[in-house]
Chains A and B, each alone.
Chain A
Amino acid sequence: MRVARHSFYEATARRRVDGLLDQNSFREFCGPAARIVSPHLPALGMPVAFDDGVVVGEGTIDGRKVLIAAQEGGFMGGAVGEVHGAKITGLLERAADVKPEAVVLLLDTGGVRLHEANAGLVAMGEIQRAALSARHAGVPVIVAIGGKNGCYGGMSIVARSCDWIIASEEGRLSISGPEVIETVEGIEEFDAQDRALVWRTMGAKHRRLIGEIDALVADDMGAFRSAILNFVGRPRPLDLDALEAEHAMLSRRLERFWDCADGRDVWARLGINDPAAVPALDADSFNGLVGALEGGRS
């Protein structure tokens, strides 16, 4: 009998938390019954959510203590408002105090909630500072991306300030979204309706191949759980050497790929024989390809 797959993509934020943590280990902070809702949305005549679109709390994964936040992509595109942001910031500040084995951020977001513009922007800065403080305290911050909204805007900057990023193929990571680029630069530059182009530019496979995410997994709760466990308790160095190494990597990357007009050109230059086949590879085949490329490089 084939066991039904448990999709991360299809799950709500609460189901994702339940699916990743040990059974009955989750304890929520500022839960829906506390009704800590957006003070801005009612003024605009818009409905609020009792958790302001993010679930935060503590629990265990394979017995190891973690703090976890999960954005609900179905509420206002997972966008970060004042309360939503404060909940994530508070969780990361708590991590610096109680030092769990990791903080896990399940991001599913378009970025700042524009209805709360200034408060949302301030929240981004606070979240990023708190993430770096948690890392400075030795707590690894692990990001997982695999929902409908991908990870865009300020939260993409937050994600890249963390230790590790895991994504499914469905995941996307970019500062500006496809529609924004099309609006600003023109449809000749970027056609937001071209789904394949969007994924070749911002999709998880491309991000994995150019080194911006650390693990690509199938859209499966168990696969996400295993990948997260692999990074629990493993902080990356956060010092001047690490920062300079990152800058050197970015300079080398720009030098190597600056004239590439499409993700496929980048992949060909990386040494992939059949770049056109990459989008159709399943996670296992794709990771085999990544392994072969990394083996060939060393």
Chain B
Amino acid sequence: MEHLEFDYDGTGAKPARAFALAGVVGSGNLEVLIEAADLGGRCAAVVDTSVRGYGETWRQVLADFFARHAMSDVRVSINDGGATPAVVSLRLDQAAAEIKDASA
């Protein structure tokens, strides 16, 4: 297992909901828990992954995610079972769509 922590500038609104969960921890899959958090406008990400040595890839995938979704005061927590970057981005987008959805 490898534990990674990242920190990014917040760029947009606070999320509509308290939290959202996307995905299931399995081989080649992951779960993304996204939560509103009081981070002084910044965004944070915590990753626990079963595959070691991909810290730089995680940093880039998460930077891309926060750049595409303008959000602030958000914490992303990930339990990863060895998902590819494309699957990671998909689950992040699913979680972001849900936490931004004020109607649900």
The answer to whether A and B interact is yes
Q: Shortest Cβ distance from B51 into chain A, in angstroms?
A: 10
B73 at the A interface (CB under 8 A): no
User: In whole angstroms, how far apart are the Cα atoms of A119 and B76 in the complex?
Assistant: 30
Q: Interface size on B (CB < 8 Å)?
A: 18
Asked if A49 and B79 sit within 8 Å, CB to CB, the answer is yes
A48 at the B interface (CB under 8 A): yes
User: Given the known A-B contacts A33-B19, A33-B35, A42-B1, are A48 and B29 also in contact in the complex, defined by CB atoms under 8 Å?
Assistant: no
User: In whole angstroms, how far apart are the Cα atoms of A46 and B49 in the complex?
Assistant: 9
Q: Closest A-chain residue to B79, C-beta based? A: A47
User: Given the known A-B contacts A32-B33, A74-B26, A74-B29, are A46 and B21 also in contact in the complex, defined by CB atoms under 8 Å?
Assistant: no
Q: Shortest Cβ distance from A296 into chain B, in angstroms?
A: 45
User: In whole angstroms, how far apart are the Cα atoms of A14 and B48 in the complex?
Assistant: 22
Asked if A33 and B18 sit within 8 Å, CB to CB, the answer is yes
Q: Closest B-chain residue to A50, C-beta based? A: B33
The residues of A that contact B48 with a CB separation of less than 8 Å are 47-48
Asked if B31 and A49 sit within 8 Å, CB to CB, the answer is yes
Q: Shortest Cβ distance from A43 into chain B, in angstroms?
A: 10
Interface of A is mostly: loop
User: What interface size band does chain A fall in?
Assistant: 10 to 19
Interface residues in B19-58 by Cβ distance below 8 A to A read 19, 21, 24-26, 29, 31, 33, 35, 48-50
A75 at the B interface (CB under 8 A): yes
A7 at the B interface (CB under 8 A): no
Summed over the interface, the residue pairs from A and B with CB atoms below 8 Å come to a total of: 45
Asked if B24 and A47 sit within 8 Å, CB to CB, the answer is no
Asked if B1 and A33 sit within 8 Å, CB to CB, the answer is no
The residues of A that contact B19 with a CB separation of less than 8 Å are 32-33
User: In whole angstroms, how far apart are the Cα atoms of A42 and B49 in the complex?
Assistant: 11
Q: Shortest Cβ distance from A151 into chain B, in angstroms?
A: 19
Interface residues in A232-274 by Cβ distance below 8 A to B read none
Q: Closest A-chain residue to B18, C-beta based? A: A33
The residues of B that contact A47 with a CB separation of less than 8 Å are 1, 25, 48-50, 79-81
A63 at the B interface (CB under 8 A): no
A45 at the B interface (CB under 8 A): yes
A72 at the B interface (CB under 8 A): yes
Name B24's contact: one of A35, A46, A48, A49 (CB within 8 Å): A49
Q: Mark B67-104, 1 if CB is under 8 A from A, else 0.
A: 00000000001011100000000000000000000000
Q: Mark A36-55, 1 if CB is under 8 A from B, else 0.
A: 00000010011111110000
Asked if B79 and A48 sit within 8 Å, CB to CB, the answer is yes
A12 at the B interface (CB under 8 A): yes
The residues of B that contact A12 with a CB separation of less than 8 Å are 24
Asked if A50 and B79 sit within 8 Å, CB to CB, the answer is yes
The residues of A that contact B50 with a CB separation of less than 8 Å are 45-47
Q: Closest B-chain residue to A73, C-beta based? A: B24
Q: Shortest Cβ distance from A79 into chain B, in angstroms?
A: 12
User: Given the known A-B contacts A33-B18, A47-B48, are A75 and B25 also in contact in the complex, defined by CB atoms under 8 Å?
Assistant: yes
Name A75's contact: one of B26, B49, B77, B80 (CB within 8 Å): B26
Asked if A50 and B1 sit within 8 Å, CB to CB, the answer is no
Interface residues in A1-36 by Cβ distance below 8 A to B read 12, 14, 32-33, 35
Q: Shortest Cβ distance from B101 into chain A, in angstroms?
A: 13
Closest 9 CB pairs of A and B: A74-B24, A49-B25, A47-B79, A74-B26, A33-B19, A32-B21, A47-B50, A45-B1, A75-B25
Interface residues of A (CB under 8 A from B): 12, 14, 32-33, 35, 42, 45-51, 72, 74-75
